[in-house]
Amino acid sequence: MLPFLKILVRNIIKGPATEAFPFGDTFTPKRLRGRAELNPERCLACGICSHVCAGGAIAMTESADGRGMEFRLWHNTCTFCGLCEHYCPANAITMTNDWHLSHEQSEKYTCCEVQFVEYPVCKRCGKRMLPHLHQRLAKGLVGAVNTAEIMQICPDCRRLTSAMQQIKSKTCFSTDRSNS
Amino acid sequence: MATYSIPVGPLHVALEEPMYFRVDIEGETVKGLEISAGHVHRGMESLALQRNYFQNITLTERLCSLCSNSHPCTYCMAVENVAGIDIPERARYLRVMADEIKRLASNLFNVGIMAHTIGFNSLFMHVMEIREQAQDIKEGVYGNRMDLAANCIGGVKYDLDDGIESFLRTQLEEMKRPLDEIYQIYAKDPLITARTKGIGILPKKDAVRLGVVGPVARGSGIAYDVRDKAPYSAYDQLSFTVQTEEAADVRSRALVRLREAMDAISLMEQCLERMPKGPTVPDCLPEIPPGQSVARSEAPRGELIYYLKSDGTDRPQRLKWRVPTYMNWEALHAMMHNCKISDIPLIINSIDPCISCTER
């Protein structure tokens, strides 16, 4: 007569389906797109992340003394779309599965991911320069890049090439020795 | 008998989103209807022109929460059409998977809300609990409960590994029985049929005249499905039936949605079986030449069309979309003709209106 009664009884016996959070534990999947994080060691300061950032959450400012570049990602502006992580040629940005971003109103201007990417020094003249791929290659941070070609092309083309390399990121991962 | 008009909306307990209906009634019977929109207009077509092609992937995803994969997917298809990009084989299957998991959750949400509108809240809760498993899939595989962020120009941003694949298989398997069970309830339960059978009839003739799409058209016996008529992604490789019902009432539209939800599970399983190994994105960044293109897909609510005009810069010159709900609004005039006041929310819900899509 009423087919739902059977299910209703079953659900009552089964008990609540909701999680005890915030008084108990909750499950966070490994792949959850949460707070973004930058590894300044890997960052090439190429700016593709702020170019693709849908919310305009990423600001890159060169320090006044030219020593490096400040990377600032506003968590409150971030849409957690993961485009920066996807297009980053050096796998420097990762979306962690940390979703604990609540903060007090007084912290709203400091709730950011701030990192300082220091520019390397030229061995000959001592001038600061952009952390280009050669530096990273020497540290073994970026794998499977044709060094000879990279060194002969202008920064704009290099950005394109490194982005292309990133797209084959699966191979980049396997030759990446920085984690070992 | 006295004739007077009552307002339903823009903010109303039975409406999930703001829309204004002025209903002319005679006694308890609806005699006339006037719909006016524009309460949540956000100017997104203009916003799209101020963002580059990459940023628009995310912008289009924020258009609507329930079909949040169909929008970026169709947008990427439009960009790929103008740039002549062929997406990798594996990405085709991964796009179908993202599309179908959203369809599954969206259709369950709609039939759940239908139970809620009837006042059958225990069934509503039960359906939402089944849907929760689909939400777990989205969160576990894609990283978010609503916005999958699965698409990028030229492919997809995510990939499956062995662990995720077996997680998917178990979740899908677990959903099959409860889905069969609730299908029987929606088809046979006397409380449900009493409120939905013969209500909000949209005869096939009117459905054709008004150009309705999606489950509304299929509920009126029109076997029109973009996945079948103009297959995109990997739909040409997969087998499924275009679900139709002849009764053309609220009940038949709900049954079509439920059967499509079951089909979604079968389509995802077929994808897992047939998906080839390989890359998920092409090995170059896209270059968008000047030109125009159109792409269309079957969103959970029906046919979604994207038009893109590019002028060779990194921003679109014009991006326009025609959303399924836009076509289905007008059908309310036919559906509500001579219906009872108490059936208004039920009939409105039966077209699965997405106001954030319509008004963007």
Q: What would the pLDDT profile of B125-152 be if each residue is shown by its tens digit?
A: 999 999 999 999 999 999 999 999 899 9
The mean pLDDT of B49-59, rounded to a whole number, is 91
B272 closest CA partner among B138, B157, B106, B160:
B160
CB contact under 8 A, A51 and B52: yes
Q: A141 and A90 in contact (C-beta within 8 Å)?
A: yes
Alpha-carbon distance B115 to B111, whole Å?
A: 6
Residue B199 token pair: 């209500």
The mean pLDDT of B255-277, rounded to a whole number, is 92
Distance from CA of A164 to the nearest CA of B (A): 5
CB contact under 8 A, B283 and A95: no
Q: Model confidence over B191-210: pLDDT tens digits?
A: 889 889 888 899 999 999 99
CB contact under 8 A, B54 and A55: no
- Closest chain B residue to A6, measured at CA: B181
Kindly compute the dihedral angle of the four CA atoms of residues A156, A161, A167, A171, in this order, to the nearest 10 degrees. -140
Q: Model confidence over B304-346: pLDDT tens digits?
A: 999 999 988 888 999 999 999 888 988 988 898 888 888 888 8
All residues at 6 or more sequence positions from B210 whose CB lies less than 8 Å from its CB, including other chains: B202, B327, B330, B331, B334
B76 closest CA partner among B295, B357, B298, B360:
B295
Residue B80 has a CB neighbour count (10 Å cut-off) of 20
- Among positive and negative, which fits the CA dihedral B257, B262, B265, B269? negative
Q: Can you tell me which residue has the tokens 């849409």?
A: A79
Q: Can you tell me which residue has the tokens 């087919």?
A: A3
Alpha-carbon distance B339 to B330, whole Å?
A: 16
Q: What is the pLDDT at residue B79?
A: 92
Distance from CA of B324 to the nearest CA of A (A): 25
Q: Which residue among A11, A32, A170 places its CB closest to the CB of B139?
A: A32
B226 closest CA partner among B306, B319, B143:
B306
Q: Model confidence over A101-140: pLDDT tens digits?
A: 889 999 988 899 999 988 877 666 767 777 765 555 554 4
Residues of B within 8 A of A2 (CB-CB) are: 189-191
Q: Is A86 on the interface with B (CB under 8 A)?
A: yes
**CA neighbours within 13 Å on the CB side: how many for B352?**
31
Q: What is the pLDDT at residue A89?
A: 81
Total number of domains constituting chain B = 1
The mean pLDDT of B45-62, rounded to a whole number, is 91
Alpha helices in B15-120 (DSSP H): 44-49, 53-61, 70-83, 89-118
The mean pLDDT of A8-17, rounded to a whole number, is 87
The mean pLDDT of A41-50, rounded to a whole number, is 84
Q: Is the pLDDT of residue B264 over 80?
A: yes
Kindly compute the dihedral angle of the four CA atoms of residues B332, B333, B339, B343, in this order, to the nearest 10 degrees. 20
Average pLDDT of every residue of chain A: 78
Q: Is A160 on the interface with B (CB under 8 A)?
A: yes
- Among positive and negative, which fits the CA dihedral B289, B291, B297, B299? positive
Strands A93-95 and B302-310, by their bridges, are unpaired
Q: Model confidence over A146-171: pLDDT tens digits?
A: 554 555 555 666 677 667 766 665 44
Start-to-end C-alpha separation, chain A = 65
- Closest chain B residue to A18, measured at CA: B129
Q: Can you tell me which residue has the tokens 């998977």?
A: B97
| Residue from B54, B135, B145, B171 to probe the interface with A (highest A Cβ count within 10 Å) | B54
Q: Model confidence over A68-80: pLDDT tens digits?
A: 889 999 999 999 9
The mean pLDDT of B56-62, rounded to a whole number, is 92
Distance from CA of A62 to the nearest CA of B (A): 24
Q: Is B282 on the interface with A (CB under 8 A)?
A: yes
Phi and psi torsions of B304, nearest 5°: -115, 130
A vs B: CB pairs below 8 A = 91
A161 closest CA partner among A176, A175, A147:
A147
- Closest chain A residue to B182, measured at CA: A4
Residues of B within 8 A of A167 (CB-CB) are: 281-285
Alpha-carbon distance B110 to B123, whole Å?
A: 12
Q: What is the pLDDT at residue A180?
A: 43
Q: What is the pLDDT at residue A171?
A: 46
What ranges do the domains of chain A cover?
30-97+107-173
Q: A89 and A144 in contact (C-beta within 8 Å)?
A: no
Q: B289 and B282 in contact (C-beta within 8 Å)?
A: no
- Which domain range does residue B303 map to? 3-359
The mean pLDDT of B155-177, rounded to a whole number, is 91
CA A4 to chain centre: 48
Q: Is the pLDDT of residue B105 over 80?
A: yes
- Closest chain A residue to B121, measured at CA: A8
Q: What is the pLDDT at residue B3?
A: 82
Q: Prior bond to A89 cis, omega within 30?
A: no
Residues of A within 8 A of B123 (CB-CB) are: 4
- Closest chain B residue to A57, measured at CA: B55
Distance from CA of B13 to the nearest CA of A (A): 25
Instruction: Give percent above pLDDT 70 in chain A.
Output: 72
Q: Is A148 on the interface with B (CB under 8 A)?
A: no
Q: Which residue among A8, A83, A160 places its CB closest to the CB of B57?
A: A83
- The domain that holds B262 is classified in CATH as 1.10.645.10
Q: What is the pLDDT at residue A177?
A: 47
